[in-house]
Structure 1
Amino acid sequence: MILCIAQVLPADLLADLTRYLADAKFVDGNRTAGWHARLVKANEQLSPSDALHADLIRRINAAIEEHPLFQIAARPKAVRPVMISRYTAGMRYGTHVDDAVMGGIRTDISFTLFLADPSSYEGGELVMEGTGGEQSYKLDAGSMILYPSGALHRVEPVTAGARLAAVGWAQSMVRDAGKREILFDLDTARRSLFQREGKTAEFDLISKSTANLMRLWAET
């Protein structure tokens, strides 16, 4: 399942990031690339030695993990601290698949949180490759896309401006992507039903089924 979530970051945090990243120190992104990814990766990442690095990462992760759509889509067991990347003119990230294990967690779900206004740079689309063809994404600043970590994807070359994004990975309590999608659909339906009709017998039955499927499928 690929899911786009709008306005993940609160306005004050996005404003702080915009101001800070304009003058922040970035380093070669190949430092965190696997041996094969180094062949196609050309970007920069916010330096861990930067004065506000730890605080920014903490605030971004908190906003992501607290978002209700992220919770019901990812069912997160563990979430890696995000990395802030920058692509300037000529930079790109060719076709690759994310590592299966990072920092001791299995990567089930990858996410890209866009940090720059899409009108401020040219190119830089995130392209997901699949059996049904390719789909490109270039979201508003503060919006995020979730996608399976096992999917082939790439970042198109930036031709002008600077593409800024925070990327991260999560291990889900529900390993199977198809099962996560079933739970997401059920949870979405029951929330919609509750908003429209309140706590009804039908709401209770959907809630029961959702909870019992979690009991069957969750790895804690």
Structure 2
Amino acid sequence: MLLHLPDILKPAEIQQAREILARAPWGSGRITAGEQSAQAKHNEQLPETSPETRELQTLVLAGLERHAVFFSATLPKQISPPLFNRYGGTTNHFGNHVDSAVRYLRNGAGRVRTDISCTLFLSALEDYDGGELVIENTGGQQQRVKLPAGHMVIYPGTSVHRVDPVTRGHRLASFFWIQSMVRSSEHRQLLFDMDAHLIRLRSTIGETDASVIGLTGTYHNLLRTWLDV
């Protein structure tokens, strides 16, 4: 499932994030890439241990926490700590690659199975040219994604994807991975669709209607069947 999630960050939070990024100590993005990805990766990244990274992680995680659609779509079991990158100048692209299946956290803090990849855009659209996230589906078709600041896209961690060259300005973003409580992408899609329909039903016929109660029970019973907690 590829899904656009608007307004993860509020305008004041986007401004705060940009102020932090403006003073941040950028380094090579290859430090967190696997052997294959490192050959294709040409960008900059904030060190995972910098104070700026920790400030930004707090902002992003708070935005995710209050976003109901994010939870419904991903059913997160674990979220890897958000990272932050910059594309522009001579470090302006990331060629075709597939994310590693497992993200190992720093200092032996555990590992995250990368079921879902996430990119949260932090630059205004008018601040840069190029820099589209290009995601290939199983049929070889491509979807090109370039979103306003504060908006996020989630897509399968199994996808071949790239970031096209930034030809003007800089593209700032956060990226991270989610291990879902429901491993199957097909099951997550069914649950997400069912939850969306239930929300619409509740808004029209109310919470106490027998059909709403019954369908809510079916949703949770399916979730129980597929859940890994």
Cα distance in 2 for residues equivalent to 1:180 and 1:49: 33
CA deviation vs aligned residue, 1:125-178 (integer Å, no higher than 9, x gap)? 000112151110100000000000001111000001000000000100100000
Aligned-pair RMSD on alpha carbons?
1.2
* AA matched with 1:153: H
Shift of 1:59: 2.2
Partners of 1:123 and 1:156 within 8 A in 2: yes
Are the structure 2 counterparts of residues 77 and 49 from structure 1 closer, same or farther at C-alpha, using a change threshold of 3 Å? closer
Counterpart check, 1:195 vs 2:196: no
Mapping of residues 1-40 of structure 1, within 5 Å: 1-40=1-40
More displaced 10-residue stretch of structure 1: 6-15 or 154-163: 6-15
Residue 13 of structure 1, CA deviation: 1.4
Cα distance in 2 between the residues matched to 1:53 and 1:2: 26
Which residue in 2 is equivalent to 1:143? 151
Q: Name the counterpart of 1:125.
A: 132
Q: Give, in whole Å, the separation in 1 of the partners of 2:34 and 2:203.
A: 46
Candidates 167, 182, 189, aligned match of 1:181: 189
Q: CA deviation at 1:64?
A: 1.6
Identify which of 115, 119, 129 aligns with 1:112. Answer: 119
Name the SS of the counterpart of 2:174 in structure 1: strand
Deviating beyond 3 angstroms after TM superposition, the runs of 4 or more aligned structure 1 residues are: 48-51
1:50 Cα offset (Å): 3.4
Q: What are the equivalent positions in structure 2 for 1:42-53 lying under 5 Å apart?
A: 42-53=42-53
Counterpart residue number, 1:61: 61
Q: How many residues align?
A: 220
Structure 1: 5+ residue stretches without partners: none
Q: Work out the CA distance in 1 between the residues paired with 2:205 and 2:62.
A: 32
Letter in 2 for 1:106: R
Deviation (angstroms), 1:117: 0.5
Moved more, 190-199 or 152-161: 190-199
Say which is worse superposed, 168-177 or 195-204, in terms of deviation: 195-204
Tell me how far 1:32 sits from its aligned partner: 0.6
Alpha-carbon distance in structure 1 between the residues aligned to 2:50 and 2:183: 35
Secondary structure of residue in 2 paired with 1:139: coil
Please, which of 157, 165, 168 is the counterpart of residue 157 of structure 1? 165
Q: Does 1:102 align with 2:103?
A: yes
Amino acid at match of 1:112: T
State whether residues 43 and 85 of structure 2, in contact with CA within 8 Å, keep that contact through their aligned partners in structure 1.
yes
- For 1:22 and 1:187, locate their aligned partners in 2 and report how far apart those are by CA, in whole Å: 40
Three-state SS of the structure 2 residue aligned to 1:52 is: helix
Q: 2:88 maps to what in 1?
A: 88
1:207-218 paired onto structure 2 within 5 Å: 207-218=216-227
8 Å CA contact 2:7, 2:151 repeated in 1: yes
- CA deviations on 1:56-92 (whole Å, 9 max, x unpaired) are 2122122124311110100000000111100013410
TM-score when normalising by structure 1: 0.96
Conserved in 2, the CA contact under 8 Å of 1:58 and 1:81? no
Q: Are the aligned partners of 1:37 and 1:96 in contact in 2 as well (CA < 8 Å)?
A: yes
CA distance in 2, matches of 1:169, 1:203: 33
Distance, in Å, in 2 between the alignment partners of 1:89 and 1:196 is 52
